[in-house]
Structure 1
Amino acid sequence: MKIFVAGSTGVIGRLLLPKLVKAGHEVIGMTHSPERISFIEGLGAKAIVVNAFDREGVLSGVGEVRPDVIIHQLTSLSQWDLADNARIRIEGTRNLVDAAHAAGVKRMIAQSIAWAYEAGDHPATESAPLDIQAPMPRKMTIDGIATLEGAVAEIPHHVILRYGMLYGPGTWYDFKGSVAEQVVNRKLPATDGIISFLHVEDAAHAAMLALDWPTGPVNITDDEPVPGTQWLPVYADLLQAPIPDYQPGSNRWQRGASNVKARSKYGWVPLYPSWRSGFVRSLR
């Protein structure tokens, strides 16, 4: 296949490109930075320089390539800028979808999140509603996700990957990431809120496998939704950080997500089935 990857140098894209190339696909990586051309080419892909907010540029780039499938991994998370990330989910996705329509692209795989669901007592399945009535600032993220998923659903064959909380190289949970910094400075308390984690290697692997998956959303998380009271002390210990304080309670939406659909229907098996082993591998 000829595959156009938007967000090709992000924490997932940089792992995804070599997987796609090794599988024999012709890969075109989109970047907004000319300085990253050599990096993309070093992974065996072709590079195209386009800013996701440049509508005409995206239309022209996708139209020139005319890929068989677009993989959308665009984010703006390195500086924890939720407003900019929501914007790229809304405007960047709209530009990619319109470019796909114009170029006759019938297949798209897109990154979403597995913590956008309404509150509930059990890990969320894909049938649970998105939390569209959430208050600010969470509403900003949910609006971006809802708009992204609605736009991507316009493509006849689409797979929406609802990723768990990403950890691993280059993420907030890496040694020098923003979460690690908070933990080292004892600014992040352990709560009862439940998170479903996902190693970035598993995120990239799922994006490649999704080329053969049926249309619709699917949770891509590890097997073990976990409260902060369990994972945060382990994480802090691996960072050699102080023991985190305990803060009772949680946000109502912190329920985790179920990966049963991905496992039972698609045969997806995470390389890191638990955050326990994944944290150790990532931080030692």
Structure 2
Amino acid sequence: MRIFLAGATGVLGVRLLPLLIEAGHVVAGTTRSAARTAPIAAAGAEPVVVDVYCAGALTAAVAEFRPDLVVHQLTDLPDAAADIPASAAANDRIRTEGTANLIAAAGSARFLAQSIAWTPAGREAVIAGHERAVLEIGGVVLRYGQLYGPGTYYEAEPPAHPRIHVDAAAARTVALLDAPSGIVPLTED
């Protein structure tokens, strides 16, 4: 399968990319920075430097790759968990404008998008709108629990439920590439 992985250098994307390659898929992985293309290429994928907010460039990049599936793993989160409230608007923009641009660029390709299995105060409408947009095109919404493990906000100890280890989240995502449209929770029991 040809897979366009938006967010290939994020905490989930860096784990998902090699799993997709190992499974035999042809993958294009996006990053906003030319300086971050080397790990994408080293994993065996085609690096694509594009900003999700530049709709024309994004549409051209997706059209050129001709994917069967677009996997939306984009977020705009800060490096420190304490900074999340101050950066909520940036992440909301990814869920609204970024998702709309990626859906438009995907055309007839199948669509799989990350979401979250909890609802932070004040973010209800944005999360619901993001998920609704994905479901309206027959896409799959993956509601990840809070990620923990190397490179996450919870490297040393797991957070409260709902949660999932970042490696398990990536592995379970690969198993859902052909899932029917709907919402799939990805959390630990």
TM-score (norm 1): 0.61
- 1:206 and 1:142 map into 2 onto residues whose CA distance is 25
The share of aligned pairs that are identical, in percent, is 48
Deviates more, 1:194-203 or 1:68-77: 194-203
- The alignment status of 1:144 with 2:126, answered yes or no, reads yes
Alpha carbons 1:165, 1:196 under 8 Å: kept: yes
Gaps of 5+ in 1: 117-136, 181-193, 224-284
- 1:64 and 1:143 map into 2 onto residues whose CA distance is 33
Q: Once superposed, which parts of structure 1, at least 4 consecutive aligned residues long, lie more than 4 Å away? A: none
Q: Partner residue of 1:185? A: none
- Residue deviations 1:182-233 (CA, integer Å, cap 9, x gap): xxxxxxxxxxxx621111111111221111222100111001xxxxxxxxxx
| Matching residue's letter, 2:178 | D
- The alignment status of 1:84 with 2:50, answered yes or no, reads no
For residues 160-239 of structure 1, the aligned pairs below 5 Å read: 160-174=141-155, 195-223=161-189
Q: Partner residue of 2:6? A: 6
Q: What is the SS of the residue equivalent to 2:151? A: coil
Q: Partner residue of 1:268? A: none
- 2:101 and 2:52 map into 1 onto residues whose CA distance is 7
Match of 2:137 among 155, 161, 166: 155
Larger radius of gyration: 1
Q: What is the SS of the residue equivalent to 1:210? A: coil
| Matching residue's letter, 2:140 | V
Match of 1:109 among 109, 112, 136: 112
| Matching residue's letter, 2:114 | Q
Alpha carbons 1:21, 1:27 under 8 Å: kept: yes
| Matching residue's letter, 2:145 | G
- 1:24 and 1:151 map into 2 onto residues whose CA distance is 29
- Residue deviations 1:130-173 (CA, integer Å, cap 9, x gap): xxxxxxx722x2222112111111323x2111010111111111
| Matching residue's letter, 1:78 | P
Considering fraction of residues, name the structure with more strand.
2
Q: Partner residue of 2:100? A: 94
Alpha carbons 1:109, 1:207 under 8 Å: kept: no
Q: What is the SS of the residue equivalent to 1:14? A: helix
C-alpha RMSD over aligned residues: 1.7
| Matching residue's letter, 1:6 | A
Alpha carbons 1:11, 1:170 under 8 Å: kept: yes
| Matching residue's letter, 2:115 | S
| Matching residue's letter, 1:22 | E
Alpha carbons 1:86, 1:143 under 8 Å: kept: no
